[in-house]
Structure 1
Amino acid sequence: MAEALRTETIGGVVMLIATVVALVWANVSYESYDALRTMKIGPEALHLNLELVKWAQNGLLTIFFFVAGLEVKEEFVHGELANLKKAALPIIAAIAGMAVPALVYLIVSWGAPDAARGWAIPTATDIAFALAVLAVTASAMPASLRAFLLTCAVVDDLGAITIIAFFYTSGLNFVMLGLGVLFLAVYWILQRQRVNKGWVLVPVALLTWYFVESSGVHATVAGVALGLLTRVHSDPGEDYSPSERADHLVRPVSAGFAVPIFAFLSAGVLLDAKSLSAAFTDRVVLGVIAGLLIGKFLGVFGGAWLSVRLGLARLSDELHWRDMAAVSILGGIGFTVSLLIGNLAYADDVTRANAVTAGVLAASLAASVAAAVLLRVRIRTRLNAQDDV
């Protein structure tokens, strides 16, 4: 089971199942669903008596972002990002793929109450879902297309966590933040000293998480930071680096438990006519949908095209611009991080938060279907071209 969860396809399917269960439960008995997600557990003395949905956002998603941090580090050291010339295409596409959706969102939502708080919601791409759709619908496409999407999504995640750290942090406790940084430094020193024992590293990581969580900075920042500080080079005599071992152990927990539970506790919204009508007449929701479906495509595809036209990057010989168009639409699958940013942006407005969730789900579904159709068309076109040759 753990091995299966290490593949994008299975992880994406588990997350989708959790989302469907949440939607069904919420629309059968929203009161019981809401009672579950708002139930508080945890030690009050440590200020950790949190609602389950907060545990999912601040605790379980830290595991997801730890894995994302490991991926970013691996990409910078051993992957596409290690070569600046190769990395230019996905990096520029990712940056444009964050800036343009935010701009589209602001244009569409202009004048709506508290619209500015949600500008970052459509900037994120869900790695697991996007790669799962690509794996299921277009496994025959060149490996370079997957590499582009993965690298683009990794840069996107790094951008998202930076946005969360700088724009969705309030009421900083500098003492707690200092302690969090101190334990990050301890973790880094342990990595440098080749300390690989879990009974040493895990408590240090948990203390880092606790102090960052208590500081007012979103706890997922701790997850990314720990991932980035994990050693990626293997020493003589080591079969795997600490980063590879950590990824091997933690990825199934992230894909099979952390992200699905977050999806289950975050995606349950009412889908009756009244709620949907209210949601899809809200310009903030329309801005989120436009940002994910239009802004992401324009940003990712436009950024890639412009970087090639300006001579800053080059497109792989295996790929065609139609392939890039299809995979750019996959960038509109916001889901995990978009839901998180939506909940952070409108934490004090449950109605708006639920409406934004509905918008993210609708846009992610539409992007998945549209990209899947285009990718299947591209595969058929490629096969027909090969037959003609």
Structure 2
Amino acid sequence: MIKGTIHQTWSRSLGVVSRRSYHVPSINKALKTEYDTINDYGSYKNNVFTHRLPESTAQQSPSLVALHSRLNLPSKYSLSTLSQALNLNINDGLVNNFGLNTLGKNLLSYYVSEHLLVKYPRLPMPIHNVAVDSLMGHETLHEIGKIWGIQVDSSTKLDKYLSQESEFIKYGKLRFLSEQQKGEVKESGVHELSSQESKTKIDSSFISDEAQAYASAVRSIIGGLYTHTGEEATKKFIQDHILSRKLPLEEMFQFNQPTRELVRLCDKLNFAEPLEIRLIAETGRLSAHAIYVAGAFCGTEKLGEGIGSSIAEAKTRSVVNALMSYYLYSPLDSEGNAAKVPSDKDYKFEGIVGLGDVSI
């Protein structure tokens, strides 16, 4: 009943990404909501009649059955729930995926956050936030939805009539445009920003309605899986489709003063010896393609090593590699396996806590 807009601003400074957001509530007029007073949330009532798609009708949709089989969903996952997860249209009389989307978003936030916090406990929080967005952001879920083979129901009623398309096919497609919008003729190459798109601008770009719809559908499918099968199957599904994706954390760091940050990090860790950057090896100093190998040492301990075409480049790379080896550290349990997350069975806290970000 309450729609909100999240405004985010990302900026990079000293290798971190700052995030700023605020929430602007507004009434969704399409739901025809009535209330006594706007602050009395208990009096809110929607006057739009909706009903669930019968399972017998959903079984006659080839695209819906194919999507169910493609995702290897269990038999407990009803086709009517899967069709509901693909429906964002509140004007067609069928229940939409608002509740499933909210549930799926919360599940994704929990499992993705605990995965990153346990696997990379020393990850700076700004980089952690970017990593979370890279795993479950709109763009990522948009691409995942396309990989799953979800198609958009973009044809008009006239096109369906002329092509003699079965009415059951649309139940297996993503539905987020109203019939009035589908019938509008727009100039090729021109995209008109909706009110929602104009409010979600990020660095001169915007999240399209299609990307938001795909992301909502993916989250709703996960929420529907939880309602039918429980936590274990949902967690495995998220691990297979979300957490298994390669995350380029190295590319998210940007150090403007790496040597100074490494010095502050050594002081924070109470290292007794001072930081020293030494030249380990070199070859071809007088040639056109010289190679130098430098190392960052704290006493006799080598913290990082770097290779470059000049001494300065090799030393800088050694310092950056030392910082990356610290921030991207992944702990192991007593048996040498990857540390368990709190949602695992027989989880035992083993003191894996980061020391916080380094201020320079």
The answer to whether the superposition gives a TM-score over 0.5 is no
Q: TM-score range by the shorter chain?
A: under 0.3
Greater fraction strand: 2
- Taking structure 2 as the reference length, what is the TM-score of the superposition? 0.22
Greater radius of gyration (CA): 2
Question: Relative contact order (alpha carbons < 8 A, sep ≥ 6): 1 or 2 greater?
Answer: 1
More helix, by proportion: 1
